[in-house]
Every structure is written in C-alpha cells, then in structure tokens.
Homo-oligomer: A and B are copies of this chain.
Amino acid sequence: MQKGNASILFEKPPAVGCWGCIAGKKEAEGPLGGGLDRTETDDRLGQETWEAAESELQRRTARLTLKKAGLKAADIRYLFAGDLLGQLTATSFGVRELGIPLFGLYGACSTMGEAMALAAVTVHAGAADRVLAMASSHFATAEKQFRFPLGYGAQRPSSASWTVTGCGAVVVENRETAAGPETSGGCAVTIAGVTPGRIVDAGIRDSMNMGAAMAPAAAHTICRNLEDLQTDLSYYDRIITGDLGEVGSRALLDLLKKEGLDLEPVHADCGKEIYDRKRQDVHAGGSGSGCCAVTLCARILPNLRAGIWKRVLFLPTGALLSPVSFNEGRSVPGIAHGIILEACSLRD
C-alpha cells in the first residue's frame, strides 16, 4: 500500500461514484461551460454578503451532487471540505445544515486534492463506506480576502489569475460495502493512489504571480510520484495541474526540463482549461479552490468515464499565503497533492 517515500497505492481503489459542480456566469461562458451541472447567473446567489453567497454555493453543490447520486445527507459518513477564506468561513456556514461529521481542510487551491486523498484513505481503510469531498471559491470573496474589495477597481498584472466562482464535490465510496443506491450506473472512475505533497517555498513574494510560486511544489510532487511508483511520464495519459495558469505552467515545464522530463505532451492545467484566455479577460488563467474542483467534475472525470483518458494524475496546487503573511512581506509557500485517477475499464 505504501509506495516509496510519500505515495499510497490502494489495493482496492475507492470509486468516485458521482460528482457535481456549479459555477458562475463567467465560467459557464468558458470552455467547460457545457460540463457544468448548473450555472448561477446571480453572483450573490440571493444572499446578502459574498461570504454567504459562497456558502450557498457549497450548500447547493452538495445537495445537487447527492441528488444526482440518489443519496441523502445521512448516506454520507464524513465530509472533507474547505475553501480559501480565513477560518473556512464559506465551508463552516455552507455545510452546517447537512449534519455530516466534518473534517475542515485548508490547502489553498490544492484543497480538492487534499480532500480526495483523505477521503480515499478513509474509505479504503473501511472507516467509512461513503464520504463526500468538496472545495469552493468565489471571485468576490477571494479578492476581498487576499487583494482589494472589488469596488476599488484595482488593476491587475498579466501574471495575476482570476479566482473561479465555483464549487465541485465528489462522492468517494467502497462499492463493495456501500449500502444504498448505485450512484452512477456501474463503476466510472477510481482513485488508484495518492501522493500527498510537502511545502516547497521558492521564495517568491508576489501575490500576483501565484503560478510561479506553486510551480516548484508541483514539480516536486510529480518527481516524487514517478520515483515512488518507479515509473515515468508515459504512465499517465494526462498530468493535470491545478491552477498554475499560463505563467506557472511555463515555469513547471522549465523546472521539469531541468530534471530531464518533457511534461508538455501530457500536461494540462485547470487554470488554463477553465477560461478562454483569448476571449475572456482573465490574465494568467483561473485559480481558487473551486478551479480544480470544477475542472475535475466538468472535464476530467467525464473524460475518464468516457474512456477518452485511462489514467490521469490530478495535481491541485496551493499557494499558502495569507493577507497577513503578504502584508508582512513573507514569501508564498506552495504545495501540490497528487491524485491518481483511473477509468474503471483499466481494472475490468
């Protein structure tokens, strides 16, 4: 089960039984629009504050995912969830009414990877038959938290990214023991293994260039994954990093080239996938915990289910800055968690 220094390969890979995602109008107008389960045209989602809007986004996404799966909240044993805000404000108020025991997680934009890793370990351990992993972000709450309130009309450099207004959730389950309805008409995708990441700090202090701050962590986790599994890049149909964006993706390719690895043929990045950079004014690309979560549910999992890809390394990356650390002139530490996703047909 343990592989190498940090990785885990599951003997009986937990299944991603069902998934759901909701995003905003801008995301719906992008390349992944067709994969969304629902679009919220009101950025406030009928709430009085931006934070309440993001909480509502989580609530609706969880409910929608459960409904798609034919499940009730009581069918979910544990919830692994997080967001970008201080003290996980969006999550705490968003999942309150679900009544599911909660593990609150913070990994910045890598949170969906962290949640899926812990969900898979917990289900594989037999500690739960079925859990939910979820992450969200909201453009307005993130700008207010990390940069400037929208009303200031601040300008943004081209290395800056655009925080996704969106939320994605996945049901992770043991198909042999989970009671209740079949959640997706047969096996779709499994979590074959995980490579939890460590913090890598390249000393970058520019909160408007988070891609560059996260690229070294992504490179580290990719190298460790290949080393732990004693394999090479050809093992994967795609390695899909989480919101490095245009600038960070280039940095990652350069870093891996120095290690003798040509990532380009198999590389994709959630931050580049979610918006059309030519048509939509998003600078370096998308970011936020919701960016990976939505791209996962709107493109990666459907492509695996459809057999277009057989094996993907899903690698959400996080920039572990805070408004306080930024104001105090600290660097931006990065982290990246690797999740090995496989089409079920691989194991038939």
Contacts and interface: CB of A to CB of B under 8 A. Distances in A.
A21 to B, nearest CB: 23
Nearest to A8: B127
Contacts of A199: 92, 95-96, 99, 102
A225 to B, nearest CB: 11
Query: Contact residue range for chain A?
Result: 35 or more
B89 A325 contact: yes
Which of A52, A101, A321 has most chain B Cβ within 10 Å? A101
A8 to B, nearest CB: 5
A154 interface: no
A95 B333 CA distance: 11
A8 B87 CA distance: 27
Contact of A105 (B100, B104, B197, B325): B104
Given A51-B324, A89-B322, A104 B114 contact: yes
Nearest to A124: B125
B124 A2 contact: no
A129 B117 CA distance: 17
Interface of A: 1-2, 5-6, 8, 49, 51-52, 77-78, 82, 84-89, 92-93, 95-96, 99-108, 114, 117-118, 121-122, 124-129, 145, 196-199, 201, 320-325, 328, 330, 333, 335
